[in-house]
């Protein structure tokens, strides 16, 4: 071998041997230059061991690597031997990186820290995947610790990303845990530490089994917020009902009420986002308007005055006095009262005056009356109403504060609030609906009932099950693993609250939320401004349903059903929800059970844009009653009708356009008679004749819309503003022209009537009283 090759070989061996020697001696260059940063501070026994910006070290003591974890039944978990330094580690495939730490010596060296050996006892989150994206500040998580075959109780400590939120403690029951995690915008790295007194330590120190988990939080600001308000009388003492012990401990003033209401609102949000995920709609949820203010989601923030961006609680002072508000309880709660529902009107007026919404600027507002009080003598709750609804400018929910004392004030109190068996003292506070016999049950009813009314403001009716059927009496099970004794059922609570035992939003509620503007995600794209649904009877008893935004689902109501038990979904059809579907009576009735197939059937059709259309009697729509013979011999078909046709003196009316006569007459112009509603329409032809639909009312002379017949312009359809009657109309033509909206351009809701492909307008039908209160099209091939 040439001498230069021998020298090269020696150099290589010498270089390798030097590296090996350095590694085996444990020395690394530069370790004395990186001890400038002080160790991070925390109450957790693990925190002194970690620098938050680095991974945990691998150089655990030989004593720890040889130690075992002893379970009560005598079985041992053997800690795997440490990974040799310098060996290539495999990237973990599980959802989180899990470690077992014993002794926890502090370390200030600058050696890059590698994960220690994986422990089978380390916490594992099962509710969400590693590095998922969420859109709410407080996230509900659940998972497992230790071995489910040998369940064990203990404690879970969650340390937040870069110590930006105080460490929180959560119970572990039969190796299961549920917790609420506070998130900062962007990436969040959490550490979960599991300890149990039933696990022995070889050196007498508490043994901690840890895992790391990453979650990304993207706040959404492009969707309308759900506003939170507290309403107080103009002479209110600004206090709420509470027993003396509670008042002494935490107070019952406005500041405490704001903190409790804010915490309850974040529980609604965490619950709803988890329910949306379980129904396959991702972790979408509504958002709150937030402001920079002293934080209250942790009791430590309240003590230190830590500023945070948290949900804003608007405090609105009413025009009414305390006596006036509290006297309305009798009117609200007893049917014969003439002032029933007046609390809702008072709240609506106050909210409208506070936010000042303009047309097209709809506000979603959930309110609490602070001055609600339990009147033991009368046996009623004064200044309380649980209602939800609203109009096109204000969607509103209201509820009282009768159970507010039982709400958690901070995240650290959530488990305590939902497990507190202290009996309700009716000398001071109400046992609402006789379902609030203990503090944790009162928290369920108070928080849950207000969430129920918020469901109404978001468009949910009463359902066959779930929150919209008072399922919130089990709300606690979503946030705790073990249930306390129930005074409502007179039974001990569940030892382990599993998913099947929990409260839920009904599937139809989550479908409404999926397409609600408050739940929009950036990935949803932009829908057509026309959210309406139109229904058309065509040949052979077939019904065509059209919607510009797509058809989402259909609810079926056989006669006798007040809640929906049967429905058809279209949202999973690919590549997108259909914009036109064909229905037959047979295909619809096949969905129903045998005992309901022959009953009168009402259906409600929902679009992806939030539009809704109701067909009162599907059989009548699909039958020959919707068919007529046109003067030229062709078959005509009546569409479903807008408006209720219930005005005094309302009479049916119908016209067939001249193009469907023999000989045909060319339509030249349409004259619209309108004021604050649509009074009538007159169609003028080239032969000088005309047809009047409705009446010649409204503005004198009406408004003419002339068709450009030289360019072949024809009537294509109408855009209507309609509710109980027809508020306004806009004429649409075949060359893309459109008139102004004549009548009330903001009344009712918008509906576009354009015949399905292959059909044209043959006429219009409906009804008219003082003005037009029913409108539909007659179409033909």
pLDDT tens track for 448-463: 999 999 999 999 999 9
676: region left, alpha or beta (phi > 0 left; psi from -120 to 50 alpha): alpha
Q: How far apart are the first and last CA of the chain?
A: 96
Judge if 175 and 254 occupy the same domain.
Answer: no
**Collapsed DSSP state (helix, strand, coil) of residue 375:** strand
Backbone torsions φ then ψ of 613, nearest 5 degrees: -135, 130
The residue among 579, 614, 649 that closes a domain is 614
534 within a domain of the structure (yes/no): no
742: tokens are 């004549």
Helix 322-333 to helix 342-355 angle (10° resolution) is 130
What is the C-alpha separation between 450 and 448, in angstroms, rounded?
5
Q: Would you say residue 524 lies in a domain? A: no
Who's near 359: CB < 8 A, 6+ residues apart?
Answer: 392, 393, 746
CA atoms within 13 A on the CB side of 577: 21
How far apart are the C-alpha atoms of 419 and 417, rounded to whole Å? 6
The answer on pLDDT for 122 being more than 80 is yes
Give a yes or no: residue 33 inside a domain. no
User: Is residue 21 very low, low, confident or very high in pLDDT (cuts 50, 70, 90)?
Assistant: very low
**Worst-scoring range by mean pLDDT, 86-100, 336-350, 381-395?**
86-100
Given 200, 217, 234, the domain boundary residue is: 217
Enumerate residues 6+ apart whose C-beta is below 8 A from 340: 331, 332, 334
Residue 25 has pLDDT above 50, yes or no: no
- The phi, psi pair for 228, rounded to 5°, reads -115, 130
Same domain, 432 and 479: yes
* pLDDT one-digit tens code per residue, 528-557: 777 889 898 888 888 999 998 999 999 999
pLDDT band at 621 (very low <50, low <70, confident <90, very high): confident
Task: For residues 61 and 709, give the distance between their C-alpha atoms in angstroms, rounded to a whole number.
Answer: 93
Q: Alpha-carbon distance 211 to 213, whole Å?
A: 7
Six token digits for residue 310 = 């948290």
- Judge if 338 and 424 occupy the same domain: yes
Distance in angstroms (rounded) separating the CA atoms of residues 308 and 310: 6
Residue 360: which of 211, 477, 224, 248 has the closest Cα?
A: 224
Do both 657 and 741 map to the same domain?
yes
Integer-rounded Cα radius of gyration of the chain = 34
Over residues 683-692, mean pLDDT = 93
pLDDT digits (tens, 9 = 90+) for 181-237: 999 999 999 999 999 988 876 776 778 899 999 999 999 888 999 999 999 999 999
Mean pLDDT of 695-720: 92
Burial class (CB in 10 A: 0-12, 13-18, 19+), 305: exposed
Domain that holds residue 586: 541-614
Q: Does residue 387 share a domain with residue 276? A: yes
Q: Are the beta carbons of 480 and 418 closer than 8 angstroms?
A: yes
175 has a pLDDT exceeding 60: yes
712 Cβ contact partners less than 8 Å away, ≥ 6 residues apart: 734, 735
From 464, 541, 562, select the one nearest 509 (Cα to Cα).
464
184 lies in some domain: yes
- Helix, coil or strand: residue 413: helix
473 touches 488 (CB < 8 A): yes
What's the mean pLDDT in 422-437? 93
Whether the predicted pLDDT of 259 surpasses 70: yes
The maximal CA–CA distance of the chain, rounded, in angstroms, is: 117
For residue 625, indicate whether it is catalytic.
Answer: no
Same structural domain, 669 and 719: yes
Instruction: Reply yes or no on whether the pLDDT at 525 is more than 50.
Output: yes
User: 568 and 716 share a domain?
Assistant: no
Among the three residues 217, 246, 273, which one is the final residue of a domain in this structure? 217
DSSP annotation of 633 reads: S
Q: How far apart are CA 625 and CA 637, in angstroms?
A: 9
Q: What is the C-alpha separation between 620 and 559, in angstroms, rounded?
A: 14
Q: Is the CB of residue 219 less than 8 Å from the CB of residue 287? A: yes
Looking at the domain assignment, is residue 532 inside a domain? no
Q: Tell me, what CATH number does 123's domain have?
A: 2.60.40.10
Closest CA to 534 of 766, 745, 755: 755
Q: 56: pLDDT confidence band, cut at 50, 70 and 90?
A: very low
Query: What pLDDT does 407 receive?
Result: 97
Handedness of CA 652, 658, 663, 664 (dihedral sign): negative
**C-beta atoms surrounding 662 within 10 Å:** 9
| Predicted pLDDT of residue 731 | 96
Per the domain annotation, does 1 fall within a domain? no
Residue 31 is given by DSSP the state G
Does 456 share its domain with 562? Answer: no
Q: What is the mean pLDDT of residues 78-90?
A: 40
- Domain total for the chain? 4
Choice among 111-120, 411-420, 557-566, 749-758 with the minimum mean pLDDT: 111-120
- When pLDDT is averaged across residues 678-706 and rounded to a whole number, the result is 93
CA angle 62, 68, 72 (to 5 degrees): 160
683 in the same domain as 586: no
pLDDT higher than threshold 80 for residue 97: no
Q: Which residues contact 429 (CB under 8 A, 6 or more apart)?
A: 241, 242, 243, 374, 402, 403, 405, 442
Task: Looking at the structure, tell me whether residues 653 and 688 fall in a common domain.
Answer: yes
Let me know whether 397 and 313 are in one domain: yes
Q: Model confidence at 110, in pLDDT bands (50, 70, 90)?
A: very low
Q: What's the rounded Cα separation, in Å, for the pair 270 and 161?
A: 19
Residue 32 lies in a domain: no
Active-site hit among 310, 453, 483, 555: 453
Examine the domain organization and report whether 431 and 361 are in the same domain: yes
Contacts of 235 (CB under 8 A, 6+ apart): 321, 322
Residue at 68 is within a domain: yes
* Beta strand ranges found along 362-509 (DSSP E): 363-369, 373-375, 380-382, 387-390, 394-400
| 153 neighbors 134 (Cβ within 8 angstroms) | no
Lowest mean pLDDT among 205-214, 329-338, 416-425: 329-338
């Amino acid at each position: 071998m040439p001498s230069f090759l021998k020298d090269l070989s020696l150099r290589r061996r010498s270089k390798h041997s030097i590296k090996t020697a350095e590694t085996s001696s444990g020395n690394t260059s530069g370790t004395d230059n990186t001890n400038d940063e002080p160790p991070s501070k925390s109450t957790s026994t693990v925190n002194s061991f970690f620098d938050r910006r680095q991974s945990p070290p691998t150089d655990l003591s030989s004593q720890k690597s040889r130690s075992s974890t002893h379970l009560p039944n005598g079985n041992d978990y053997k800690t795997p031997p440490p990974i040799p330094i310098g060996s290539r580690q495999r990237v973990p495939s599980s959802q989180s990186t899990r470690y077992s730490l014993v002794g926890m010596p502090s370390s200030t060296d600058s050696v890059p820290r590698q994960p220690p050996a994986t422990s089978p006892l380390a916490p594992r989150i099962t509710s969400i995947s590693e590095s998922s994206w969420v859109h709410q500040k407080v996230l509900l998580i659940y998972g497992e610790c230790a071995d489910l075959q040998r369940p064990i109780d203990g404690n879970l400590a969650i340390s937040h990303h870069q110590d930006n939120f105080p460490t929180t403690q959560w119970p572990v029951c039969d190796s299961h845990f549920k917790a609420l995690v506070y998130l900062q915008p962007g990436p969040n790295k959490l550490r979960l530490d599991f300890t149990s007194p039933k696990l022995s330590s070889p050196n007498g120190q508490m043994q901690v089994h840890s895992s790391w988990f990453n979650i990304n939080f993207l706040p959404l600001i492009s969707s309308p917020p759900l506003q939170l308000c507290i309403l107080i009388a103009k002479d209110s003492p600004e206090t709420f009902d509470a027993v003396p012990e509670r008042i002494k401990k935490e107070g019952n003033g406005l500041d405490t009420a704001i903190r409790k209401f804010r915490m309850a609102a974040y529980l609604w949000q965490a619950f709803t986002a988890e329910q949306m995920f379980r129904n396959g709609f991702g972790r979408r949820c509504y958002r709150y308007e937030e402001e920079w203010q002293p934080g209250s989601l942790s009791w430590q923030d309240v003590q230190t005055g830590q500023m945070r961006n948290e949900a804003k609680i608007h405090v609105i002072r009413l025009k009414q006095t305390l006596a006036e508000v509290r006297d309305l309880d009798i009117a609200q709660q007893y049917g014969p009262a003439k002032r029933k529902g007046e609390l809702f009107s008072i709240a609506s007026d106050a909210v409208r005056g506070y936010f000042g919404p303009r047309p097209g600027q709809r506000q979603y507002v959930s309110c609490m009356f602070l001055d609600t009080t339990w009147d033991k003598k009368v046996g009623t709750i004064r200044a309380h109403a649980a209602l939800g609804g609203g109009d096109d400018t204000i969607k509103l929910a209201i509820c009282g504060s009768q159970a507010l004392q039982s709400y958690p004030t901070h995240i650290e109190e959530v488990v305590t609030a939902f497990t507190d068996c202290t009996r309700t003292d009716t000398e001071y506070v109400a046992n609402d609906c006789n379902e609030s016999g203990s503090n944790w049950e009162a928290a369920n009813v108070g928080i849950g009932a207000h969430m129920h009314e918020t469901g109404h403001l978001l468009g949910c009716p009463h359902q066959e099950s779930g929150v919209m059927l008072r399922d919130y009496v089990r709300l606690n099970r979503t946030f705790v693993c073990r249930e306390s004794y129930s005074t409502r059922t007179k039974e001990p609570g569940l030892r382990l609250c599993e998913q099947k035992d929990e409260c839920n939003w009904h599937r139809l509620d989550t479908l409404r939320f999926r397409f609600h503007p408050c739940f929009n995600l950036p990935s949803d794209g932009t829908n057509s401004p026309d959210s309406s649904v139109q229904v058309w009877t065509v040949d052979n008893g077939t019904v065509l349903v059209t919607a510009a935004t797509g058809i989402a689902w259909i609810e079926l109501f056989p006669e006798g059903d007040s809640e929906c038990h049967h429905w058809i979904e279209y949202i999973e059809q690919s590549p997108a929800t259909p914009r036109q579907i064909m229905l037959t009576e047979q295909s619809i009735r096949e969905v129903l059970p045998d005992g309901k197939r022959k009953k009168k059937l009402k259906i409600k059709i929902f679009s992806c844009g939030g539009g809704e259309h109701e067909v009162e009697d599907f059989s009548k729509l699909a039958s020959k009653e919707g068919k007529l013979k046109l003067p030229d011999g062709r078959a005509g078909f009546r569409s479903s009708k807008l408006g209720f046709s219930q005005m005094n003196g309302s009479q049916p009316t119908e016209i067939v356009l001249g193009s469907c006569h023999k000989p045909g007459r060319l339509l030249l112009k349409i004259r619209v008679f309108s004021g604050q509603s649509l009074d009538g329409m007159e169609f003028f032809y080239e032969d000088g004749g005309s047809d009047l639909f409705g009446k010649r009312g409204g503005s004198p002379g009406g408004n003419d819309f002339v068709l450009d017949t030289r360019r072949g312009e024809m009537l294509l359809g109408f855009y209507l503003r309609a509710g109980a009657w027809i508020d306004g109309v806009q004429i649409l033509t075949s060359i893309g022209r459109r008139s102004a909206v004549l009548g009330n351009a903001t009344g009712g809701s918008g509906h576009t009537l354009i015949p399905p492909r292959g059909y044209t307008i043959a006429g219009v039908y409906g009804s008219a009283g003082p003005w037009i209160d029913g409108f539909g099209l007659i179409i033909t091939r």
